[in-house]
Amino acid sequence: MLFSHVKLATMTGVQPYGLIADGAVLVEDGRIAWAGPRQDAPREKTGKAVDCGGRLLTPGLIDCHTHLVYGGNRANEFEMRLNGAAYADIAKAGGGILSTVRATREAAEDELVQSASVRLESLLREGVTTIEIKSGYGLDVETEMKMLKVARKLGETHFVDVVTSYLGAHTFPAEYRDDHAAYVDLVCAKALPAIAEAKLADAVDAFCEGIAFSVAETEKVFAAAKKLGLPIKLHAEQLSNLGGAKLAARYDALSVDHIEYLDEDGVEAIARSRTVAVLLPGAFYYLKEKQHPPVAALRKHKVPIAIATDLNPGSSPVHSLLTTMNMACVLFGLTPEEALRGVTANAALALGLKDRGRIAPGLKADLVLWNAERPGDLAYPLGLNPCAAVIRDGAIVRGQIG
């Protein structure tokens, strides 16, 4: 199949967006076989050409940080915060993450599949073809495994690739409130080996913060993950600068996420590893944070920047990656090009996926056709969905092209 007459944002090379003004993409066996200017398209293969009418074609979007699977909701806390309560205070009083833990423990697997499917559908409508989903609202071994199974199941029942992260170190469960060391032990010695054995997690994540895990506790989790050969990620420097990102860089983390409080020293540390900086403007927006992530330093040290919804019931009930791109531009000063790179090429890096995120020969043929002429149009509007069609592994799975 040749997708012809497209404006191509390949996200490769040095040109902004890797733009090819009048391009074509040849897809064979679910992979991109060729991409380039239309006039150079391999002639012998143009039998099954589809005219895309000059519209924009991008890689499939990748949401590289979500907490999509959870029970209950936290609209009440949204209301409490608007009545003056602080996010950290709600958490200390047993609300916050712990209230979602209670609801998630109670929910049956089917209910979780059901509620998460509705949320997932919102993302897929906007061209998401790969999503990362974290556990972290179960905390006990059984519920963490239940969440990860639900995440895997979503990948089997929807047109999307699901990548999972075990986030047992999200917060301390009520039953371990007075014995943090024992909980860290449970995560490292019991939960992680069981989850790795069942192949339920593709990576291990933690929340390093004053209200969550210390640097020393986080390091124990990283060491255990490393022993099992699992890559790591970290919620770091969201509300304060504890030095979590530096630790993550030492463990060659795939990504450090949030990082509003990261300083230049920390940026230099992650620049020396393969670690991607994942910005989460949804949480910044909902928590009305004032501290901006160090975008200038990230650029200066050439750290790849990704962006993600952080979809979760507390700090970021955001169900739109396009909105997130807009927020990254308006709130953090990213360019629309950086925003698109942040949900394609760099989001793939943040998940350690080398086979997607760009339009280049050999990569997975996950593509989105937009009712748009220029790639800059994607981050520009709020609440408009210009997605015309989604192509996954070379097949049209949503919308139509004609």
List the interface residues with ligand NIG, window 245-274 (CB under 6 A): none
Q: Which lies closer to ligand NIG via its Cβ, residue 9 or residue 98?
A: 98
Which residues, in sequence order, are CB contacts of 227 under 8 Å at separation 6+?
Answer: none
Shortest spacing between CB 333 and ligand NIG, in angstroms = 21
**Tokens 């097949």 sit on residue:** 395
List the interface residues with Fe ion, window 309-328 (CB under 5 A): 310
d(CA 241, CA 262): 6
DSSP 355: S
Of the candidate residues 127, 173, 313, 376, the single one contacting ligand NIG (CB under 6 A): 313
Of the candidate residues 115, 165, 316, 344, the single one contacting ligand NIG (CB under 6 A): 316
Single out the segment in contact with ligand NIG by CB under 6 A; choices: 301-309, 311-319, 339-347, 368-376: 311-319
Structure tokens at 106: 């109670």
d(CA 28, CA 366): 12
Question: What does residue 124 show for φ and ψ, rounded to 5 degrees?
Answer: -65, -35
Q: Which lies closer to ligand NIG via its Cβ, residue 312 or residue 326?
A: 312
Q: How many CA atoms lie within 13 A of 295 on its CB side?
A: 18
Q: Which lies closer to ligand NIG via its Cβ, residue 209 or residue 338?
A: 209
Task: Report helix, strand or coil for 47.
Answer: helix
Of the candidate residues 96, 231, 342, 357, the single one contacting ligand NIG (CB under 6 A): 96
The single-letter code of the amino acid at 5 is H
d(CA 341, CA 383): 20
The entry of Fe ion, ligand NIG, none that residue 316 binds, CB within 5 to 8 Å by partner kind: ligand NIG
CA 161 to the chain's CA centroid: 12
d(CA 350, CA 352): 6
For residue 376, which of 337, 349, 341 has the smallest C-alpha distance?
Answer: 337
The single-letter code of the amino acid at 50 is V
Shortest spacing between CB 119 and ligand NIG, in angstroms = 14
According to the binding rule CB under 6 A, does residue 97 interact with ligand NIG?
A: yes
According to the binding rule CB under 6 A, does residue 314 interact with ligand NIG?
A: yes
**Residue whose Cβ sits closest to ligand NIG:** 314
Shortest spacing between CB 308 and Fe ion, in angstroms = 8
Of the candidate residues 219, 310, 337, 366, the single one contacting ligand NIG (CB under 6 A): 310
According to the binding rule CB under 5 A, does residue 126 interact with Fe ion?
A: no
Per CB under 5 A, residues contacting Fe ion are 310
Per CB under 6 A, residues contacting ligand NIG are 67, 96-97, 100, 207, 235, 238, 283, 310, 312-316
